[in-house]
Structures are given as structure tokens and as C-alpha cells.
A = this chain, B = another copy of it.
Amino acid sequence: MTLPFTPEQKADVDQVLEAILYLYTEGRRLTKEYARRANLTSPQLTVLKVLETFGDVSLSELSERIRAQNSTVTGIIDRMEREALVKRERSKEDRRVVHIRLTTKGAGLARDIPVEPMEILRRAILSLTATEGRELVKISTKLAKRVQELAQEGDAEKKK
């Protein structure tokens, strides 16, 4: 399954892996740092910015946007409600749905924090040249597709 490859290729792969790992961990560190200054946790800052951008959303919509399970978001909203940053409001059209809304305090805090999570990575990508940008779009898309294929092979294997 594993193809032979040269030492140079191996070094290249390691360098790319290291860069990706760095981008990820540094992104997390920065988000956490910005959140800490406002006495928030990272996911709480993310939720605040989602609500500021999109207005009221249901809990499920929120879960999708921040890519977490409903059960996780329930806990996050519990704690944010305790701090009076958000309010839960049962929908009138569909009484299963809960809308999450910023309180005045929450909205003020969101305004005071200029930085969205991912903003730094976004700006770093914008600093690339046009050619590099196009290449990166092409390569990262291809990588994602290839990972998807490899994942499916792996998933198929597990059934046996």
C-alpha cells in the first residue's frame, strides 16, 4: 500500500505536516488568548461572533456553524446564559426549537472584541501573491478530496 519514496520527499511531507500542525495549534492559541482577555473561553467567543453576525439562530443551526454536537452546545449555552451573555427563547412556530439571542451585555461584549476566530489565518492567506493563492486553492482542494477518498477506503475496510 505504501509507495516507496525518496528521503527528500519524506522531508517535504514532514515540513508540510509541521506547518499545518503549527497553523492549527497557533490558531487555537490565539483564539484562546483573545477570549481570555474578555473572560471568555474559545467556543464562547465563537458563539458570540456567530450571533453577532447572523442574529438569532436555533441551537441546531449554531451547532452546525461551530461544528459541534448539540449536546456540546447545550452546555456552552447553559454557561453563557448563567453569565447573562445570551438568552434562550422557545420558538412560537415550532415549539421544539430554541432560539439563542444575545443579551445587551452579550452584544456589547461582542462589539468590544474586534477579532473573529480564524481572522489571522484569513489575513495570512490574503497576504499571499495571486499566483500562490490560486495554487493553494487548487492544492488544498485536491488534498481534501484525496483525504476523502482514503477515508472511504478505510471506512469500507472496517465492515469486514
Contacts and interface: CB of A to CB of B under 8 A. Distances in A.
A39 interface: no
A133 interface: yes
A124 B146 CA distance: 6
Nearest to A36: B158
Interface centre among A67, A141, A150 (most CB of B within 10 A): A150
A113 interface: no
A8 B142 CA distance: 19
Given A20-B24, A22-B144, A23-B147, 17 more contacts: A13-B122, A16-B136, A16-B137, A17-B118, A17-B122, A20-B140, A25-B67, A26-B147, A26-B151, A37-B158, A115-B154, A120-B150, A121-B143, A124-B146, A132-B138, A132-B142, A135-B135
A33 B158 contact: yes
Interface in A124-160: 124-128, 132-144, 146-148, 150-151, 154-155, 158
A112 interface: no
Interface residues of A, number: 56
> So how many copies of this chain end up in the complex?
2
Interface in A74-102: none
A27 interface: yes
A53 to B, nearest CB: 14
A54 interface: no
B125 A16 contact: yes
